Amino acid sequence: MPKAKLIAVEQLRTLNELLGRVSDPERAEHARRALEFAYKEHPEDLERVPLGDYVDKLAKLHFGVSGHRADFAFAHWHVPRLEDFSPLWIRQAIVVEMKKLAGRREGLLLVTGLREAVCPVGKYWTKQREAQYQRVRDWIDELVCAWATRGSRLQVVVL
């Protein structure tokens, strides 16, 4: 299996553990078993399906179709590959996701694909790309803080 997909599997395992802390432990165990089954029995599927799709399926296993509990909300933004990361474009995407978290005391915003969007496969990670990645991360953090519900506990995870 390619190195990138092994990393994706590890990211999904880590995310499952994180989500297991805020959802039902039985669901976390079910999701862990499903991940292991997919990894062992259908590795070719892991190579074809984007990480963002697996994240959404994992969230459904933990929270159901709505992605919410009464006191906890989950939102996922998969960054598309673009040449230009303008603050306006990022603002629009983050605001859409933050609206999904509105009104909950706790929430998790998961951002996937940022590293790949900044540095496509086959390209080198340069100081310029590192600076662009950090600039986008800073924009995300600023927007999340600005749009978070007062008094809420919000986690932002970038995979």
pTM over 0.75: yes
Residue 109 pLDDT: 92
Q: Do residues 107 and 147 touch, judged by C-beta distance below 8 A?
A: no
Residue 128 pLDDT: 94
Report how far residue 110's alpha carbon sits from residue 87's, in angstroms, rounded to the nearest whole number. Answer: 18
Residue 70 pLDDT: 66
**Mean pLDDT of successive 10-residue stretches along the chain, which has 159 residues:** 63 84 82 84 72 80 68 85 71 89 87 88 92 92 88 87
